[in-house]
Structure 1
Amino acid sequence: MSRVTARRPTLRVTATGQITRPDTLAVEEPLEIRLGGASLTVTMRTPGSDIDLVHGFLLSENIIATAEDIVSARYCSGTDENGQNTYNVLDVQLRAPTTIQPRAFLTTSACGLCGKTALDDVRARTRYPIPADGLTVGAGTLAAMPGTLRARQAVFDATGGLHAAGLFDAGGALLAIREDIGRHNAVDKVLGWALRENRIPAHDLILIVSGRASFELVQKAVQAGIPMLGAVSAPSSLAVDLAAESGLTLAGFLRGETMNIYTGAHRLTGIQH
């Protein structure tokens, strides 16, 4: 059985009757990230692309800037009740020491603080400021990206329970897609791919997500230098504020030929500004 999906019994109730049958579900398991043997954090994720996830997470938390900042990333020993390796602990060796403390991350430290504090924190930490010009994308090309992403969501087709994130070029080509039970993990996985492919800062890429655009997802895009983020659903107010503050183009409700452009409309061609 794949570690990405699992089968569980379920009682299916319909207007014409009911039946007991197995259902395919997305797997959710903890991944403990360690730095030099010391526990850093635990995230609940769908197994798969864990190395990309760790690279993307450390990039978005400003702990690393390039793939070369990581000497190694290895699974630690850990077994389940059957004696099998769980592959749920990854130990990362950094090239240089860090003073980061466990769970001392922007997405948790900003909780309970005002929006301006959170925005100032991201601006101070960003290694790759987004250039004001450079990337331009046709509005029709951007509108087609969610459909391209959806067509490649194989695990979602089987379970209906995963988020997806994809990186596109300005011509609409999908370069990388990752799925995960957590939208933030899906984004970290594609950012990790970009980092390992030497595509960071990603000033020429567009990030598309299958759900809403939260502050956290905008923050991750900004940390990677991505100039455009598109979401199938709505952004939050603080996400829009951060996008405006950082010079990121933020589009929401990307559905068919319609979209809402909240910030950075100058990067889109084929629309009236």
Structure 2
Amino acid sequence: MGRINRSFAVTRVTREDGVIRTDTRADTVSVEEPLEIRAGGTTLTSTMRTPGHDIELAHGWLFAERLISSPDDVTTARYCAGAVGPEGENTYNLLDIDLAGTAAPVTPNLIRLTPTTSACGVCGTQSISELLHRTHAPIEPVALDPDLIMALPGKLREGQKQFRKTGGIHAAGAFDLDGNALVIREDIGRHNAADKVIGHLLLENKLPAKDTILVMSSRASFELVQKAAMAGFPALVAVSAASSLAVELARQAGMALAGFAREERFNLYAGALAGGRR
């Protein structure tokens, strides 16, 4: 598709020795476009995302919504040729999914009529209490190696190709307990990046994600902990803060949760460190 980023003429403003200076030059920004996901002709959701790995995103979202539990629950996934731009080109912004008979039925309460923004992964859901009581894959707890946790944000940055170009895109990565990257995905929305990673692991038959750590370039919000828990991740590491609901859910689920992860420090909100330290 080639629409991951775009260039615009921008004016950069600087102050040097008290003097305001301006300079117009090309700058690269991350693309944000809508993606509508349909199943059997019914629109399930629309989300603002960065184009690319859309089928993984759809699988991750369907998994998080408990519509599917296996790649076999999806028989086909294709872009709708009827979604065209102003010049008659396919926009690749409408994805048609055919579900197998093994998939869960599509019910009215599952349909998101309000578009999900790139900042919010649970918009349109009816209540937080409903989300808190969702079932998730059994989690096998792991004790976190402090040196590994402090190294993971840097390892994630190594795979953030679009961030280096734009500075305006999130990343999610799945890493094994030795710090090896299994998959890294970027998106304008942090929840979309997580869905792409989870969708990739689902398609590779690597769920539940035991002995695997989900690393996010964002804060640790409730919906990200929920997605990680449902996928069976025993730990989530974020470079920014954790919310109160994220901490509560991680502790309920038996997940380790670390935030403000840097080269020399991090906060442990839930779980245990290797060696029995907490």
TM-score, L = length of structure 1: 0.91
Paired position in structure 2 for 1:269: 274
Paired position in structure 2 for 1:258: 265
Match of 1:121 among 125, 130, 133: 133
Match of 1:46 among 34, 50, 72: 50
**What are the residue-to-residue correspondences of 1:3-22 with 2, within 5 Å?**
3-16=3-16, 17-22=21-26
1:194 aligns with 2:194: no
Paired position in structure 2 for 1:92: 97
SS at 2:122 equivalent: helix
SS at 2:260 equivalent: strand
* Residues 119 and 245, structure 1, Cα contact 8 Å, conserved in 2: no
- Within 2, Cα distance between the matches of 1:173 and 1:28? 29
Amino acid in the other structure paired with 1:87: Y
Paired position in structure 1 for 2:122: 107
Q: What is the Cα-based RMSD across aligned positions, in Å?
A: 1.9
Q: How much does 1:223 deviate?
A: 0.9
- Within 2, Cα distance between the matches of 1:158 and 1:120? 37
- Within 1, Cα distance between the matches of 2:31 and 2:230? 28
Match of 1:34 among 31, 38, 43: 38
Paired position in structure 2 for 1:63: 67
Structure 2 unaligned runs (5+)? none
Amino acid in the other structure paired with 1:212: R
* Residues 37 and 58, structure 2, Cα contact 8 Å, conserved in 1: yes
Structure 1 stretches of at least 4 aligned residues deviating more than 6 Å after TM superposition: none
* 90-99 or 222-231: bigger deviation: 90-99
Match of 1:76 among 63, 80, 83: 80
Q: How much does 1:81 deviate?
A: 1.1
Q: How much does 1:204 deviate?
A: 1.9
- Within 1, Cα distance between the matches of 2:91 and 2:125? 32
Amino acid in the other structure paired with 2:34: P
Structure 1 unaligned runs (5+)? none
* Residues 165 and 207, structure 1, Cα contact 8 Å, conserved in 2: yes
**Residues 26-83 of structure 1, C-alpha deviations (whole Å, 9 max, x = no match):** 0000000001121111000000000110011111111110111110110001211122
**Residues 85-133 of structure 1, C-alpha deviations (whole Å, 9 max, x = no match):** 100000100102613331289924656x4x6x246422xx32x1213x4
* Residues 62 and 223, structure 1, Cα contact 8 Å, conserved in 2: no
Match of 2:242 among 230, 235, 253: 235
Structure 1 or 2: more helix by fraction: 1
TM-score, L = length of structure 2: 0.89
- Within 1, Cα distance between the matches of 2:123 and 2:39? 19
Amino acid in the other structure paired with 2:94: V
* Residues 112 and 125, structure 2, Cα contact 8 Å, conserved in 1: no
- Within 1, Cα distance between the matches of 2:130 and 2:73? 26
Q: How much does 1:10 deviate?
A: 1.1
Amino acid in the other structure paired with 2:138: P
**What are the residue-to-residue correspondences of 1:155-170 with 2, within 5 Å?**
155-170=162-177
Q: How much does 1:234 deviate?
A: 0.4
* Residues 139 and 270, structure 1, Cα contact 8 Å, conserved in 2: no
Aligned length: 263
SS at 1:254 equivalent: coil
Identity of aligned residues (%): 50
- Within 2, Cα distance between the matches of 1:260 and 1:130? 21
